[in-house]
């Protein structure tokens, strides 16, 4: 699957569709972003079951701000609508492949249970 450009209008709906979504925050003037782009595009072609999104931080400043992007490139990963990874810096292909393997192996029921427990604790603390 080819990478898809994400905007403020479709970012949330893309994340919430479920499955694995990787998002590369980049800019045209960024050398490391340009070096990472072919690696990211190749991984996209090899993983048709994953959505590979790209956010141009110059064009989508509001979205980059909402995602608290402070350096680019920044890679974010979501699984089943839950953010599971965020890191600035370009990854070499083996590291990107390992990240994808780790995301595939996540126990999402366990993660949802942890989130529910945290939210219940936050609610109890706020009473």
* pTM of the predicted model as reported, rounded to 2 decimal places: 0.90
Q: How many domains does the chain have?
A: 1
Q: For residue 1, what pLDDT is reported? A: 61
C-alpha 117/C-alpha 83 separation (Å) is 17
Q: For residue 83, what pLDDT is reported? A: 95
Q: For residue 2, what pLDDT is reported? A: 75
Q: For residue 122, what pLDDT is reported? A: 75
Catalytic site residue from 33, 77, 91, 96: 33
Q: For residue 127, what pLDDT is reported? A: 58
* Domain span holding position 112: 4-125
CATH number, residue 28: 3.40.30.10
Which phi and psi (to 5°) does residue 98 adopt? -65, -40
48 part of the active site: no
Provide the token pair at 76.
Answer: 């974010």
13 part of the active site: no
C-alpha R_g of the chain: 15
Predicted confidence (pLDDT) per residue in 89-98, tens digit: 999 999 999 9
C-alpha 95/C-alpha 115 separation (Å) is 27
DSSP 3-state of 85: strand
Helix H segments across 47-82? 61-66
Catalytic site residue from 15, 21, 22, 30: 30
Q: For residue 124, what pLDDT is reported? A: 67
- Residues of the chain predicted below pLDDT 70: 1, 124-127
């Amino acid at each position: 699957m080819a990478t898809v450009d994400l905007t403020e209008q479709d970012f949330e709906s893309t994340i919430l569709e479920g499955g694995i979504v990787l998002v590369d925050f980049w800019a045209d003037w960024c050398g490391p972003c340009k070096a990472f782009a072919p690696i990211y595009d190749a991984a996209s072609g090899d993983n048709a079951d994953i959505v590979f999104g790209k956010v141009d931080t110059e064009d989508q400043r509001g979205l980059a701000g909402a995602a608290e992007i402070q350096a680019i490139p920044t890679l974010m990963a979501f699984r089943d609508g839950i953010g599971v990874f965020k890191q600035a810096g370009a990854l070499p292909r083996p590291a990107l492949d390992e990240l994808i393997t780790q995301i595939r192996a996540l126990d999402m029921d366990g993660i949802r249970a942890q989130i529910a427990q945290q939210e219940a604790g936050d609610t109890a603390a706020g009473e």
